[in-house]
Amino acid sequence: MAMTAEAALTVPLGVLLRREVTSERMERPDVLCGEAARSRKGEDFTLLLAEAAQRVAGDPSTSFSVFALFDGHNGSGAAIYAKNNLLNNVLRATPSGLSRDEWLAVLPRSLVAAFVKTDKELQAVAETSGTTVTFVIIDEWVVTVASVGDSRCILESADGSLYHLSADHRFDSNQDEVKRVTACGSKVGQLNVVGGPEVGPLRCWPGGLCLSRSIGDIDVGEWIIPVPHVKQVKLSNAGGRIIIASDGVWDDLTFKMALECSRGYPSDIAANRIVNEAIQPRGLRDDTTCIVVDILPPEKRVPSPPTKWQGKIVLNNMFRRKHPNASFKIDREYAEPDVVEELFEDGSAMLSRRLTTGYALQHMFEPSSCAVCQLRLAPGQGISIHANPLQHEKMQGWQGPFLCRSCHQKKEAMEGKRRPIDSSTSDSSSHVRRRA
Ligand SMILES: [Zn+2]
């Protein structure tokens, strides 16, 4: 019998012990960040909060970090407003009393609700500027990134692999978005100078915006939407480096160039090196901003090195590539590889999908509140988010989530079912956005 029991034990004892030890010892990583910016128009804004809030109020062990980049255009009102309000809107959209796993599972949905709510609030005050948003939440080893626009966020894992954590919502590089916006009633094309050739990037008309998603931009058609692409990954205990940067960086640097010019340096120096590398060839042509966040196993924590030489050695060691023959074949199945696990990804523009899929539905919603703005709804007042609620109830046993009338109208408008209310009073058709 003893032999049988032993044979059934498929995971070597050493690996089990290592898992025990590492899960205890490496529960919370150290999160170190640095930023650098060179401003031309003063429309890039950042948010760096190593301890942004706590999942469970009053319990510091449940704190999480937020790092965000807002690249404004046509003014900075939308970028400043989003910087000041987006996190609060995420927190409001997240029910309390959830376990950590539930909290992480509901976060993509909370981010979608918060982006749409923030956009609606700007609409209410007739703020016409717009902003890209790259919003990164780090909870222990789990990184959740919500993005609209063309700032980009990448991750280099400890083994040197590169992961894209954001989407690119430029018409030039996103055919799906060209199709979506065209189907809603906009034209997408280059700027046509009268009597001359078509020039510059693809833009939507009216408005002349190069982006298919943003917060703000109320005068370009409501199908330029704030619904973010959301990606959630879990790092291994070996950690990794995250780089968030505005298009001022990515217009001149490939992801690989950004990683290579900064590898081995502490986060603040790394951010500086990336910005300098980006503006070096052609000078400062746009606001150029970079945030570098290192997620480190606690024992790897190194204070800012007294000399560049020391810092380079320590961090190079951390980011070294694994030797291809490092693990023995027999151990491979049980080894704890430095893999990055993808937990969630969705970039759909449809709210009915973004606010429902992947979760235990009713448990995760305040049944009597609007799923976007959290307005309390009287019985029978909410409008089901589904086009065919009865059909949906047949399949799911529930018609929700529900929206208030105003958020329902916003949803219809984002899907191209409502023409802009005041397009006749706006001169957007003759106005070309200065950037984006
Ligand atoms: Zn609402």
25 and 104 in one domain? yes
The CA–CA distances, whole Å, from 389 to 352, 394, 400 equal 11, 9, 8
Write out the residue range of the structural domain in which residue 182 sits: 17-346+420-430
Going from the Cα of 408 to the center of ligand 1, the distance in angstroms, rounded, reads 7
pLDDT of 19 reads 54
For residues 334 and 349, give the distance between their C-alpha atoms in angstroms, rounded to a whole number: 40
DSSP 313-354: HHHHHHTPPPPTT-S-GGGTTTS---PPEEEEEE--S-HHHH
For residues 158 and 78, which has the higher predicted lDDT (pLDDT)? Answer: 78
293 and 184 in one domain? yes
390 and 342 in one domain? no
For residues 106 and 98, give the distance between their C-alpha atoms in angstroms, rounded to a whole number: 9
> What residues sit around ligand 1, an ion, with C-beta below 5 angstroms?
370, 372-373, 375, 404, 407
Q: How far is CA 255 from the centre of its chain?
A: 17
Q: Once rounded to an integer, what is the mean pLDDT over residues 351-356?
A: 90
Going from the Cα of 112 to the center of ligand 1, the distance in angstroms, rounded, reads 13
- Residue 7 located in a structural domain: no
Torsion sign (Cα): 257, 190, 188, 118:
positive
Going from the Cα of 315 to the center of ligand 1, the distance in angstroms, rounded, reads 47
- 219 burial (CB, 10 Å; 0-12 / 13-18 / 19+) is buried
For residues 244 and 184, which has the higher predicted lDDT (pLDDT)? Answer: 244
247 and 175 in one domain? yes
171 and 82 in one domain? yes
Going from the Cα of 418 to the center of ligand 1, the distance in angstroms, rounded, reads 17
pLDDT-based confidence at residue 389 (cuts at 50, 70, 90): confident
- Residue 11 located in a structural domain: no
Domain CATH for 174: 3.60.40.10
222 and 83 in one domain? yes
222 and 196 in one domain? yes
Going from the Cα of 405 to the center of ligand 1, the distance in angstroms, rounded, reads 7
Helices in 280-364 by DSSP H: which ranges? 308-318, 351-354
398 and 256 in one domain? no
Q: Which of 90-99, 296-305, 321-330 has the lowest mean pLDDT?
A: 321-330
386 and 335 in one domain? no
Going from the Cα of 207 to the center of ligand 1, the distance in angstroms, rounded, reads 27
Going from the Cα of 39 to the center of ligand 1, the distance in angstroms, rounded, reads 37
Going from the Cα of 351 to the center of ligand 1, the distance in angstroms, rounded, reads 12
Pair of tokens at residue 83: 């910087």
Helix axes 77-93 and 100-124, enclosed angle (nearest 10): 140
pLDDT of 436 reads 47
380 and 325 in one domain? no
382 and 255 in one domain? no
276 and 212 in one domain? yes
Q: How many domains does the chain have?
A: 2
Going from the Cα of 113 to the center of ligand 1, the distance in angstroms, rounded, reads 9
pTM here is 0.84
Going from the Cα of 360 to the center of ligand 1, the distance in angstroms, rounded, reads 21
pLDDT-based confidence at residue 357 (cuts at 50, 70, 90): low
Q: Once rounded to an integer, what is the mean pLDDT over residues 22-40?
A: 83
Beta bridge partners of 146: 135, 230
